[in-house]
Amino acid sequence: MKHKTLKGLQDILPPDISIWHHIEKTAANIFKSYGYHEIRLPIMESTEVFKRSIGETSDIVEKEMYTFQDKGGRSVTLRPEGTASFVRAYVEHHLHNNPPPQKYYYTGPMFRYERPQAFRYRQFYQIGAEAMGIEDPKLDAEIISMLSRILDSIGLKGLNFEITSIGCKECRPDHKIALKNFLGSKLDAFCSDCRRRYDTNPLRILDCKVPACIELRKGSPPVLDYLCKECKDHFDSLNKYLKLLKVPYRVNPNLVRGLDYYTKTAFEVSSENLGSQSAVAAGGRYDSMVKEFGGPPTPGIGFAMGMERVIPLLKDVIEISDGPELLICPLDNAASEKGLHLAELLRAKGLWVEINHEITSLKSQMRKANRISAKNVIVLGDDEINSHKIVVKSMIDKVEKESKLDADQIAAILQQRS
């Protein structure tokens, strides 16, 4: 019987993996320049970690978590996102004892039992960043600017940056009343989830994906209109700093996040080329989460970007050239042994070198060079071994360069051409 990947999961194969490496390397370099350190977290946590922080009434917790009992009868969940795991680790390892800001990043798979569709998977990868311990909106501006720099540096242009503030415990009660007044008169027309959420957490109605509910909630009062003085000052300053840093963005008062832990700043980056799953990255502030996890009151802010959304956008933009620097083409057994040794010497210098172990005609070896996108070839036969001279032929511009049959000289030519 042939087996297949589970629905909503995918294998990541070459040459696509080169784009993954390009993004991961670029992001890691930029994280370093902003002082973010990598943190590696388990992909499974006790279910409570997610339930409490993401919110019992969120779509993720209500419908999308991969939750099961382990053999010891504990309820465990495959992480649907990284922030809750991160905060659990932050508190568990007393990272708050270090001087703020504490800045971390992570990469890895997340799991959500969503209905699979283009750009929406059940296992998807995020690159996320979290900065802890600073309430000042300059940190918000800095992290949004860092995200913009990452997306720009990997080659993504023309994205929409949207920001808003979703207030805090002080301003939300007034907004909640206004929202309930607005929604109350047409509640019967909403889906059963929304009708339930009207009493438990009306803000979640703004995140419902049912088309009829989206239509019905149009024109609802945004939290932005109800901000308390502290949240308003924070948001005004953030706008000022984003302008100072020349981050292109717009304020979207209707921006809603699907997770309950956010306070004040929330943001999303989207692309028009991803259909309905347009969010490439998103994040925000979560100033009460560390305390709720049993740590000392510590503000935090972060974001995560979705690799499966970024990669399709990059495929048309960046060229993947994934082939060896050199293919050695031996014409007989003696040349094959010589080539075997030469390949090892060149690989020891860090070059990607391939050799044809099976001796076939020169024509078929050249066909293979093209097929594997080799950048250069060397043909090795009696003449080359006896004269100790070879020709390094570029498969890109067909330029031929003579060299001694010597790893140092050949390496110098390959490096010059790469």
How far apart (Å, rounded) are the C-alpha atoms in residues 356 and 88? 52
Q: Which residue, 8 or 221, has its beta carbon nearer to ligand HAM? A: 8
| Residues 216, 202: Cα–Cα separation, whole Å | 14
What are the C-alpha distances in Å from 249 to residues 58, 244, 269, 270? 27, 12, 9, 11
Complex with ligand HAM: residue 124 or 241, whichever CB lies closer:
124
Per CB under 6 A, 284 contacts ligand HAM: yes
**By CB under 6 A, residue 299 contacts ligand HAM:** no
List Cα–Cα distances, 378 to 264, 299, 347, 357, 369, in angstroms: 62, 60, 15, 14, 10
Minimum distance, C-beta of residue 33 to ligand HAM, in the bound complex (Å): 20
**Total residues at the site for ligand HAM (CB under 6 A)?**
25
Residue nearer to ligand HAM on the CB measure, 128 or 339: 128
- Specify the residue, 260 or 384, whose C-beta has the smaller distance to ligand HAM: 260
Which of 137, 306, 330, 339 touches ligand HAM by CB under 6 A?
306
φ, ψ for residue 360 (rounded to 5)?
Answer: -125, -175
Q: Answer yes or no whether residue 150 interacts with ligand HAM by CB under 6 A.
A: no
What CA–CA distance (Å, rounded) separates 280 from 268?
8
The reply on whether position 258 binds ligand HAM by CB under 6 A is: yes
> Residue written as tokens 């717009």?
250
Retrieve residue 98's tokens: 């270090």
In whole angstroms, the minimum distance from the beta carbon of 173 to ligand HAM comes to 24
Q: Which is nearer to ligand HAM, 178 or 279 (CB)?
A: 279
Work out which of 175, 204, 264, 309 binds ligand HAM, going by CB under 6 A. 309
Torsional sign, CA 105, 167, 169, 215? negative
What are the residues whose beta carbons fall under 8 Å from the beta carbon of 417, sequence distance 6 or more? 375, 376, 394, 396
Q: How far is the CB of 83 from ligand HAM (least distance, A)?
A: 4
Q: Which contacts of 190-195 are long-range, i.e. CB under 8 A and separated by 24 or more positions?
A: 190/216, 193/62
The CB-nearest residue to ligand HAM is 306
Residues 256, 210, 48, CA angle at the centre, nearest 5°? 60
Does residue 281 interact with ligand HAM by CB under 6 A? yes
Window 73-102: contact mask with ligand HAM (x via CB under 6 A): --------xxx-------------------
Site residues (CB under 6 A) for ligand HAM, limited to 107-146: 112, 114, 120-121, 124, 126, 128, 130
Q: Which residues contact 394 (CB under 8 A, 6 or more apart)?
A: 375, 376, 400, 401, 417
Please write down the long-range contacts of 178-185, taking CB distance under 8 Å and 24 or more positions apart: 178/221, 178/226, 179/203, 179/205, 179/206, 179/220, 179/221, 182/219, 182/220, 182/221, 183/216, 183/217, 183/220
Least distance in Å: CB of 252 to ligand HAM? 14
User: Alpha-carbon distance 29 to 406, whole Å?
Assistant: 35
Distance in Å, CB of 36 to ligand HAM, minimum? 12
* Cis peptide upstream of residue 15 (ω within 30 degrees of 0): yes
User: Least distance from C-beta 87 to ligand HAM, angstroms?
Assistant: 9
Interface with ligand HAM includes 287 (CB under 6 A)?
no
Please state the closest distance from residue 311 (CB atom) to ligand HAM, in A: 10
State in angstroms the smallest separation of the CB of 255 from ligand HAM. 11
Q: Which is nearer to ligand HAM, 83 or 148 (CB)?
A: 83
Shorter beta-carbon distance to ligand HAM: residue 114 or 140: 114
The residue among 218, 288, 301 whose CA lies nearest residue 256 is: 218
> Interface with ligand HAM includes 282 (CB under 6 A)?
yes
Q: Residue 87: which of 142, 49, 113 has the closest Cα?
A: 49
Q: How far is the CB of 103 from ligand HAM (least distance, A)?
A: 12
Tell me which residues touch ligand HAM (CB under 6 A). 81-83, 112, 114, 120-121, 124, 126, 128, 130, 258, 279-284, 302-306, 308-309
